[in-house]
Amino acid sequence: MPTTASQQPRTGILTLADVAEADVIALLGGYGLTLVRIDGSAPIPGCYWGEPEAGVIGEKVYARSDTPVHSLLHEACHLIVAPPQRRKQIHTDASESQAEEDAACYLQILLGDALSGVGRERVMADMDAWGYTFRLGSARAWFERDAEDARAWLAQHGLLPDARQMTA
């Protein structure tokens, strides 16, 4: 999970400008979410960690071309894991519990596979480069060896993506 807001652009991090926006729109739409594209360097509504990170308000995910893909996925996943009645009330701060936070991190990694040219490996590498922190030292170590509870939470709530639907 991110430890500090980062407002300085980082080189090598995959951004919205680097992926097919139509793929992002389709992925989010499959969960009842809408991507709202913010132009230029305009402020990002609903941004918790500081720009260029993605923002969330209700069922909308706000992002600019310089928004990291991992951030866009993470914030979208917060909306995905939220119960529908609460999702509509979310503005900026989406996490209600550590279990939801962990589930959002796990799902964001999985959903990387649904975006052409991204994949879970890239999402985990960008999470580490951006400054997410995990007990075992990296997103990969957490995902592979310490995230059973997050996976179980997603399974219990019917939110694990079907591998056949992922583009890998």
pLDDT at residue 162 in the model: 76
Q: Which residue reads 């993506």 in tokens?
A: 161
pLDDT at residue 96 in the model: 82
Task: Give every CB contact of residue 32 below 8 A, 6+ residues apart in sequence.
Answer: 59
pTM: 0.90
Give, as one character, the DSSP assignment of residue 132. B
pLDDT at residue 55 in the model: 98
pLDDT at residue 24 in the model: 98
β-strand pairing of 60-63 with 55-57: antiparallel
Amino acid (1-letter code) at residue 121: E
Number of helical H runs and strand E runs in the chain: 7, 3
pLDDT at residue 21 in the model: 96
pLDDT at residue 94 in the model: 87
Exposed e or buried b per residue across 123-154, where buried means at least 16 C-beta atoms within 10 angstroms of its C-beta: bbbbbbbbebebeeeebbebbeeebeebbebb
Task: Give every CB contact of residue 7 below 8 A, 6+ residues apart in sequence.
Answer: 50, 51, 52
- pLDDT tens digit at each of 168 positions of the chain: 333 334 444 568 999 999 999 999 999 999 999 999 999 999 999 999 899 999 999 999 999 999 999 999 999 999 999 998 899 999 999 888 999 999 999 999 999 999 999 999 999 999 999 988 888 899 999 999 999 999 999 999 999 987 545 543
Lookup: tokens for 70: 């991992």
Q: Cα–Cα distances in Å, from 147 out to 31, 153, 157?
A: 23, 10, 16
User: What are the structural domain ranges in the chain?
Assistant: 16-158
Amino acid (1-letter code) at residue 167: T
Compute the chain's Rg from CA coordinates. 14
Distance between CA 54 and CA 39 in Å, rounded? 13
